Structure 1
């Protein structure tokens, strides 16, 4: 039986003051840190808390309950949490379980904007198994935390170079690893949230890969209506060549990664016979162009939007293969006995075939590189399982099954990001013409496990295919 709060002599002249350490104190976001409490009474209840402010000033917090060992220590890499934001032995639980503090603005999602500065996470150690309000306000019995520590979580290592790209109509940010190179490289594409998202690219560069984070939608520097995709394959081709032409890049060792709609854009690159990337990573995406037929905005797909009892919207049905316009579906061509066969183009009329070939279709007969396809099985933002099945079957029909590797994660949602990032099961999508909160799916612990495992598999996949 553990002693209650206030019943222990936590400080005495015979015992050093409690100490909370976190090592390393500065680390990349994908690195584990060791969090330990020492000089505590044996077999006693303690709470370890984490809190930080986002770049927008919002408070994020996590806490967990532990019981010290007979030597008066608690070690998050060894010991099991018995309650709080997570349970079990989770060395990085305080990082991936961070959530907006009570009373925060609705629809928050933690996304790094300035990758040249870290997240600063404040850790504290408190007596007893306490409530979040005790952790973060200092209220309750006792004189505040027993010990505190601070860690910095970075996306960029020292020496990584960040370069704004506004060249020949291309909008992006390039990250180059420290040193002269040439380096293997990655084109990095995000989804229909639009804008220019840099943090994954910065982390790739920190792991030795030159990376181009490419904007293609919803950015002020891209001409045309803000809420439609106004670029095509020529834009993607130019960006790919821009990355190849850098002297720091090994032009024959370039891969592509896409999340959500970025998967379709990545496959566009991979199926161009003049580009031939060495590999493609696809995270929770679609094999068709669901953005809106014939240059329409994404709102044109609203007949497939589904709302829950809270009014939150799921876009999952938008991306079901059967709901994507036939002209924008995946197409595979293969040669059998000198005749060309088209597989599969269900319900497509012959008179529309030329439009289909000339526009945003995926000509998988040109695909020659391996694909790592990552699926979150609790994805509410995309029909990820169905799309993975679709492309796997298409490649099998084209006798290219050996190119396809699937990683599937129960309990993981749409937003599979670098490890130890907290998941947003919902987030604000737009406020105009009306406020929309989007359902992404994912449960904290299995989603965190998926992020950690898939990130390591991604890096291994890139090493194997880009470094040779």
Structure 2
């Protein structure tokens, strides 16, 4: 209510509030807003500052829990009260990140007590339908009038994803809300961070290693994870920030197109990643004995290579990565890994964008022998992945020796695309790939993809927390 009044009446509201406060203290009026507006002294003040009429209708109240510093993967309970009873309303979400704008909407009918509860009430239309407490976040789509294929991605971990959530009269589509943006019945701002208070960040420049280490609060020692992304290049930090916020130290490790690192994938060598394992385990604030690795796309390939050739890798999360060395050979001091080449002639074109899932013609003998060591492997498989050949993940599982097959888990998700990220962020079905200067299809359908992201993140945290534990040494008596 104060936000709406301040827009209308500016700083004079402060004087009005002070009079209201003083009158209440003197018990000259009761505490209701409308009674205060009718009091002669207040009424004279309003006329004096040019206000001839002020609505005494209370704005709807948004209740968001939990309170405090919210993280992106927190499941929120959003409830609205003070709405007209049994009326159609639209809840609208808007977020702008680095100039990129996203929006969502959901249709509800208020109950007999004038409330809407996103945790239990179904949306009957909009960018999502059904009951979904976080639907207003994960169902966001890019606002019109922007570049095609933009992706919501956080680059500054010190700032939140700030979402404006408003409620409007009637069932409105996105365009109708935009046209009547000043007609909200009420609104609130919800800030969600990737980085929790107390998480520390260290720039890594050690030998040829580059990147950023995110450390949980406290002295440790902490479980240690190496975090890899795909052929987008550069450094991507949001997942490491969130892992550290959940108690896992995470080394965001770029491997090309970052500072003085190689400028092309062809210059990669596996020794760089082995050095990262030793560097992380050499720290006193990291639990000794082994690390975890998480990677998406090409980062998933590399995570599996690291697990194949290093017994120090104890847990791997492969998110839609190939289970063989793909596209370019990987140099290695103990013998280079030959690659299954990307066959450009097998690219498919859909609406002018590239589909690559059939462009890697691998054979069973190309599959990495990840079972060489006893790493626990969680494979996240999107059944609608339009980038990687999904069959190779199941082939990896089938090739495991029977006595080790329990170490390889395949979590397959229907209608889920390539880019499975932490939960409650929108699906990126297609985007521009700067390394290839082309638009690529990633696949996925919003509702199913949202479920996959939530479940896969839970599994990821469970794997790292359960596997990367301190080694208990029993005293010899």
Q: Same fold (TM over 0.5)?
A: yes
Residues in 2 aligned to 1:144 and 1:298: alpha-carbon distance in whole angstroms: 57
Gaps in structure 2 of 5+ consecutive residues? 1-33, 35-53, 332-337, 471-477
Residue correspondence of structure 1 range 209-220 to structure 2 within 5 A = 209-220=248-259
Report the counterpart of residue 104 of structure 2 in structure 1: 62
Report the counterpart of residue 397 of structure 2 in structure 1: 392
Are the structure 2 counterparts of residues 227 and 297 from structure 1 closer, same or farther at C-alpha, using a change threshold of 3 Å?
farther
Report the counterpart of residue 460 of structure 1 in structure 2: 462
SS of residue matched to 1:321 = coil
Are the structure 2 counterparts of residues 97 and 25 from structure 1 closer, same or farther at C-alpha, using a change threshold of 3 Å?
farther
Instruction: Find the partner of 1:443 among 442, 445, 448.
Output: 445
Report the counterpart of residue 38 of structure 2 in structure 1: none
SS of residue matched to 2:230 = coil
Residues in 2 aligned to 1:365 and 1:465: alpha-carbon distance in whole angstroms: 16
Residues in 1 aligned to 2:55 and 2:95: alpha-carbon distance in whole angstroms: 33
Q: Is 2:74 aligned against 1:34? A: no
Post-superposition offset of 1:14: 8.5
Contact kept? 2:87, 2:170, Cα under 8 Å:
yes
SS of residue matched to 2:393 = helix
Post-superposition offset of 1:272: 2.1
Residue correspondence of structure 1 range 334-413 to structure 2 within 5 A = 362-364=368-370, 366-384=372-390, 386-396=391-401, 399-413=403-417
Residues in 2 aligned to 1:189 and 1:264: alpha-carbon distance in whole angstroms: 10
Report the counterpart of residue 105 of structure 1 in structure 2: 147
Residue correspondence of structure 1 range 120-269 to structure 2 within 5 A = 120-138=162-180, 144-223=183-262, 226-269=263-306
* CA displacement, residues 254-313 of structure 1 (integer Å, 9 cap, x when unaligned): 21111111122111211224x4222111111111122235889999642232111x1110
Q: Is 2:53 aligned against 1:53? A: no
Q: Which structure's CA Rg is the greater one?
A: 2
Taking structure 2 as the reference length, the TM-score comes to 0.81
Are the structure 2 counterparts of residues 299 and 401 from structure 1 closer, same or farther at C-alpha, using a change threshold of 3 Å?
closer
Q: Is 2:59 aligned against 1:17? A: yes
Gaps in structure 1 of 5+ consecutive residues? 1-10, 331-361
Are the structure 2 counterparts of residues 320 and 137 from structure 1 closer, same or farther at C-alpha, using a change threshold of 3 Å?
farther
Post-superposition offset of 1:123: 0.8
* CA displacement, residues 61-118 of structure 1 (integer Å, 9 cap, x when unaligned): 0011110011100010010000000000010001001111012211101111111211
Q: Is 2:347 aligned against 1:311? A: no
Residues in 2 aligned to 1:95 and 1:25: alpha-carbon distance in whole angstroms: 18
Root mean square deviation, CA, Å: 2.3
Residues in 1 aligned to 2:330 and 2:130: alpha-carbon distance in whole angstroms: 50
Instruction: Find the partner of 2:161 among 100, 119, 125.
Output: 119
Post-superposition offset of 1:166: 1.8
SS of residue matched to 2:114 = coil
Instruction: Find the partner of 1:91 among 108, 112, 133.
Output: 133
SS of residue matched to 1:413 = coil
Contact kept? 1:20, 1:125, Cα under 8 Å:
no
Residues in 2 aligned to 1:52 and 1:153: alpha-carbon distance in whole angstroms: 11
Contact kept? 1:263, 1:284, Cα under 8 Å:
yes
Contact kept? 1:25, 1:151, Cα under 8 Å:
no
Are the structure 2 counterparts of residues 25 and 65 from structure 1 closer, same or farther at C-alpha, using a change threshold of 3 Å?
farther
Residues in 1 aligned to 2:306 and 2:88: alpha-carbon distance in whole angstroms: 55
Post-superposition offset of 1:249: 0.6
Report the counterpart of residue 335 of structure 2 in structure 1: none
SS of residue matched to 1:62 = strand
Post-superposition offset of 1:364: 3.6
* CA displacement, residues 150-193 of structure 1 (integer Å, 9 cap, x when unaligned): 01110000010111112110121100000000001111111122
Count of aligned positions: 411
Post-superposition offset of 1:15: 6.2
Report the counterpart of residue 345 of structure 1 in structure 2: none
Moved more, 400-409 or 174-183: 400-409
Are the structure 2 counterparts of residues 220 and 314 from structure 1 closer, same or farther at C-alpha, using a change threshold of 3 Å?
farther
Report the counterpart of residue 5 of structure 1 in structure 2: none
Post-superposition offset of 1:320: 4.7
* CA displacement, residues 310-336 of structure 1 (integer Å, 9 cap, x when unaligned): 1110121234534x9x6xx12xxxxxx
* CA displacement, residues 30-58 of structure 1 (integer Å, 9 cap, x when unaligned): 00112211111111101000101112x01
